[in-house]
Amino acid sequence: MKLKLLLLSFLLALPAHSARGDTPGQNFLIQCSACHAVDHKLVGPSLVEISGIYGKDPDGFLRWCMKPGKKRPDTIEMPSMAHVGEPALKEIYGYILSAAAGKTEQAVADNSAALENNRRPRVQRIFMPDASPAAIAVALPGDLSFCFDAGDCRLRYVWKGGFIDALDHYKGNGNALAKLKGDVLYREGEFPLSGGSTVSSTPKFLGYSMSEGIPIFRYLRDGVEYSEKITPLPDGSGIQREFTTKGSTALILKPAGKGAVAAASTGEGPIQTNSFTLTYRWK
């Protein structure tokens, strides 16, 4: 599968969204997207199917989310979403209807692939292809995963499908590489930003912390301390990378990744803010 990367938007000067639910779709992403996709069955029915059932029945939708029943024989029982709270569920309801509008249900050929996606975000230190030995594999909610190289302190690639098959790795002598269970959508040739001290030094990994099951990586490059959080876009069509930097250095977005991050639509000037988001979308 050869897919083309489009840099649809390069959003500067956006505060990093750290609080939950401050972007449309964020609540859905965190609470529901592990099991529900827009136009095809995942673990639960698609948003197209859900808006068909509850499009005119917000109360019924709320009742189901607070206390789900058992309807479909071929899948698990949905856990109650009462902890999400009514205001957020109402926001999610609105998001579901707008995300499903104009879409039609797509068949899923192999349901086991869909069930494989019933996953919480996962973070695994493992030997990965095309990365230094200090690779970290991350399964995002939905069907995207990525490899972060803690040796070189950068995103290496993003793939779509299942997570990793680590069996060879554990069966073998510990040197075998994990196999990706999916297709690579994007490979990054080099770190996309430059700036900081002119004497470039070896990047230094400072560790990661977890936020809503998703890792936030911290690392030092050329004297600039970065933190980076990679999340899927709510509709699963790409990723966004939220960067926060320490210090007052202006950064430059490179035409990185073999031209993948081409033509930042907001022009060429240096990035003057300490928190900004790069959005990558695949068609």
Q: How far is the CB of 194 from ligand HEC (least distance, A)?
A: 40
- Which one among 5, 37, 84, 278 touches ligand HEC, defined by CB under 6 A? 84
Burial of 97 (0-12, 13-18, 19+ CB in 10 A): middle
Contact 275, 254 (CB under 8 A): no
229 binds ligand HEC (CB under 6 A): no
Q: Which residues neighbour 190 within 8 Å (Cβ) at sequence distance 6 or greater?
A: 154, 254, 256, 257
Among 143, 172, 47, 177, smallest CA distance to 103 is for 47
Among 48, 44, 37, 141, smallest CA distance to 98 is for 48
Q: How far is the CB of 112 from ligand HEC (least distance, A)?
A: 15
112 binds ligand HEC (CB under 6 A): no
35 binds ligand HEC (CB under 6 A): yes
Q: How far is the CB of 71 from ligand HEC (least distance, A)?
A: 3
Distance of CA 248 to the CA centre of its chain: 28
114 binds ligand HEC (CB under 6 A): no
67 binds ligand HEC (CB under 6 A): no
Of 35 and 185, nearer to ligand HEC (C-beta) is 35
Q: What is the CA radius of gyration of the chain?
A: 20
Q: How far is the CB of 44 from ligand HEC (least distance, A)?
A: 3
Contact 90, 62 (CB under 8 A): yes
- Which one among 46, 75, 145, 244 touches ligand HEC, defined by CB under 6 A? 75
177 binds ligand HEC (CB under 6 A): no
- Which one among 5, 40, 48, 61 touches ligand HEC, defined by CB under 6 A? 61
Distance between CA atoms of 151 and 221, rounded to whole angstroms?
12
Q: How far is the CB of 35 from ligand HEC (least distance, A)?
A: 3
Of 32 and 261, nearer to ligand HEC (C-beta) is 32
